[in-house]
């Protein structure tokens, strides 16, 4: 027996939407012996970290919130970062989560201890053990900085959009904005009026649709407070519209041509210069990369103090930034809007499974999980927003809630098994699930649209997006299919006793797995 540490039934990693949602669901399941480990000094996840000027959600507020925690007082149809962060703080308070949350507890390493059937979790504040780990660190938590020659010698200010330096005054400065993703198109119009000169480095232009944002009137908010079903109906309508749109992304990408025409019209309204329009017009099918929403981005690019360089940043020479096409600019500050480690999650380096290898090593050829939740070789470990659970046109909160359903049934199954038991995803089940997901992916705009996106891993495989509707995913994660798992118990004295399952039962369950997995994903 090793050193004794504090032990909990469940350790949740992260306190964003996924982590707080998991905590609420655990309490609703009657499980109170859990902790939420958060590396920062407050809750909120990506909505705490991203506080750059103009930061807001591109999903309507009433859909970008928990169904079990409706907010009748959203101030705008598309809420800003400060309102979403406040909402998450409210969830933590309303559902009594504060006693479970341990701030400034960064997870340094998690190791599966097979002899004890638990996880040993080393944090920056000490070590604890847990029967089950729910990893809710999220794919948008660790910023990705490109390796640029000469950047270390730049004499000015450098920061990533998700680590905004609010003490640095941009007024009158010459600023280089690197990237044209979802963060950049919000930052550019927010800082353009105050900077002296803004140079935007664009490797690939995005498709940008108008953002139909407005203030939600007091009358609407009063109605949602007094008659909660009206807020639920509004949410349901927003969900239904997006469900109807999914087939264009997943089965009939050619139908997106009309949407491209609308995006081009949105650009033409603000960009009168034909040369600039040419720079900003994508050459790939809309939807292949994330469709961005802004009614201010194009007007900002048309201003005289903005230059668009249709090439990526490759070198920094003192205070001179140099693009791949040779374009140069003198700047005082460089802001990177270059995204996050999505397909190479840093947390995977800190998870050591039953075979003594890290999750990163297990996923070296690409992320794979069973129903976006569990990985082969990592018993009693599950992730929220795992591989192939991302969305291209709807709210991730819908996917999170589906995964919370799966987590809840996972815990119920463990309780039914009783004693010291763990569930280990069968490699055959993980493989069957992912083959079906990748087969469906071949028809989607993400695979056929002619672009390279952050949805793809280093091998060119889309391990990020779910190729179906949120309703399909909800059905596929409604409950745990024990045929897809091996039931592991504390090893007996005989080292060969690895599982409580009888050999005949194991063979029968394995035979059922592929067929049942196929049916679930259809």
What's the chain's average pLDDT?
93
DSSP category for residue 149: B
Residue 492 pLDDT level (bands cut at 50, 70, 90): low
DSSP string, 185-211: HHHHHHHTTTSSEEEEE-SSPPPEE--
Report the pLDDT value the prediction gives residue 419, as an integer from 0 to 100. Answer: 79
Higher confidence at residue 518 or residue 97? Answer: 97
Q: Say what percent of the chain tops pLDDT 70.
A: 93
Bridge-based pairing of strands 197-201 and 174-178 is parallel
Question: How far is it, in rounded angstroms, from Cα 222 to Cα 291?
Answer: 33
For residue range 250-290, list pLDDT tens digits in order.
999 999 999 999 999 999 999 999 999 999 999 999 999 99
> Do the beta carbons of residue 210 and residue 295 sit within 8 Å?
yes
Mean pLDDT confidence for 203-211? 96
Neighbour-count burial of 107, counting CB atoms closer than 10 A to its CB (0-12 exposed, 13-18 middle, 19+ buried): buried
Whether the per-residue pLDDT at 350 is higher than 70: the answer is yes
- What pLDDT score does 491 carry? 67
Q: What's the pLDDT score for residue 208?
A: 97
Phi-psi region of 303 (alpha: psi -120 to 50; beta: other; left: phi over 0): beta
437 is written with which tokens?
């997901």
Share of residues in the chain with pLDDT > 90 (%): 91
Mean pLDDT in residue range 365-387 = 97
Across 63-75, average pLDDT: 97
319 in Cβ contact with 156 (< 8 Å): yes
The mean pLDDT of 345-353, rounded to a whole number, is 96
Unique residue bearing structure tokens 């034909």 = 274
402-457 pLDDT, tens digit per residue, is: 999 999 999 999 999 987 899 999 999 999 999 999 999 999 999 999 999 999 99
Strand 6-13 and strand 126-135: the pairing is: parallel
Instruction: Give the Cα separation of 243 and 245 in Å (integer).
Output: 5
pLDDT of residue 519: 53
Closest by CA to 25, choosing from 458, 409, 348, is 409
Q: For residue range 9-63, what is the model confidence (pLDDT) as tens digits?
A: 999 999 999 999 999 999 999 999 999 999 999 999 999 999 999 999 999 999 9
Mean pLDDT of 110-127: 97
Strand partners, 425: 485
Q: How far is CA 17 from the centre of its chain?
A: 10
Domains of the chain: 6-142+341-521 (3.50.50.60), 151-212+241-336 (3.50.50.60)
**CA separation for the pair 377, 359 (Å, rounded):** 9
Q: What is the pTM of this model?
A: 0.92
| 223 burial via Cβ count (<10 Å: 0-12, 13-18, 19+) | middle
Contact 244, 392 (CB under 8 A): no
CA 104 to chain centroid, in Å, comes to 21
pLDDT reading at 506 higher than 50:
no
Rounded mean pLDDT of 60-84?
Answer: 97
């Amino acid at each position: 027996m090793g050193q004794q540490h504090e032990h909990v039934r469940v350790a949740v990693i992260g306190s964003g939407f996924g982590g707080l949602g998991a905590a609420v669901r655990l309490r609703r399941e009657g499980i109170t012996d859990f902790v939420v480990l958060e590396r920062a000094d407050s809750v909120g996840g990506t909505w705490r970290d991203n506080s750059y000027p103009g930061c807001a959600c591109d999903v309507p507020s009433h859909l970008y919130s928990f169904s079990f925690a409706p907010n009748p007082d959203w101030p705008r149809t598309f809420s800003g970062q400060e309102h979403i962060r406040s909402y998450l703080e409210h969830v933590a308070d309303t559902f009594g989560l504060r006693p479970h949350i341990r701030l400034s507890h960064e997870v340094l390493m998690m190791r599966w201890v097979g002899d004890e059937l638990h996880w040993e979790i080393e944090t920056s504040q000490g070590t604890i053990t847990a029967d089950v780990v729910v990893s809710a660190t999220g794919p948008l938590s660790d910023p990705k900085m490109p390796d640029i020659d000469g950047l270390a010698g730049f004499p000015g200010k450098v920061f990533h959009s998700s680590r905004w330096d609010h003490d640095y005054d941009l007024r009158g400065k010459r600023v280089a904005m690197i990237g044209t993703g979802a963060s950049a198109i919000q930052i550019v119009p927010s800082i353009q009026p105050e900077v002296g000169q803004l140079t935007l480095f664009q490797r690939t232009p995005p498709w940008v649709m108008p953002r139909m944002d407005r203030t939600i009137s007091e009358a609407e908010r009063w109605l949602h407070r007094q008659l909660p079903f009206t807020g639920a109906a509004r949410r349901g309508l927003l969900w239904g519209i997006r469900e109807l749109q999914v087939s264009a992304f997943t089965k009939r990408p050619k139908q997106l041509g009309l949407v491209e025409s609308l995006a081009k019209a949105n650009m033409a309204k603000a960009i009168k210069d034909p040369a600039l329009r040419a720079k900003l017009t994508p050459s790939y099918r809309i939807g292949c990369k994330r469709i961005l929403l802004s009614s201010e981005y194009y007007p900002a690019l048309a201003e005289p103090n903005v230059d668009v360089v249709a090439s990526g940043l490759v070198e920094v020479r003192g205070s001179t930034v140099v693009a791949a096409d040779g374009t140069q600019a003198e700047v005082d500050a460089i802001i990177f809007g270059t995204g996050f480690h999505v397909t190479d999650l840093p947390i995977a380096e800190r998870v050591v499974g039953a075979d003594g290898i890290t999750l990163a090593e297990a996923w070296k050829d690409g992320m794979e999980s069973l129903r976006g939740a569990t990985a082969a070789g990592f018993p009693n470990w599950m992730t929220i927003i795992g591989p192939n659970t991302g969305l291209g046109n709807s709210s991730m909160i819908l996917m999170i809630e589906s995964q919370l359903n799966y987590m809840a049934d996972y815990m119920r199954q463990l309780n039914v098994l009783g004693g010291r038991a763990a569930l280990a995803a069968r490699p055959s089940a993980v493989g069957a699930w992912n083959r079906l997901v990748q087969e469906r992916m071949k028809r989607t705009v993400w695979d056929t649209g002619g672009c390279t996106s952050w949805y793809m891993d280093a091998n060119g495989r889309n391990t990020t997006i779910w190729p179906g509707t949120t309703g399909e995913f909800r059905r596929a994660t409604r409950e745990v299919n024990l045929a897809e798992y091996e039931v592991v118990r504390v090893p007996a004295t005989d080292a060969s006793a690895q599982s409580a399952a009888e050999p005949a039962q194991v063979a029968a369950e394995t035979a059922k797995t592929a067929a049942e997995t196929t049916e679930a994903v259809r």
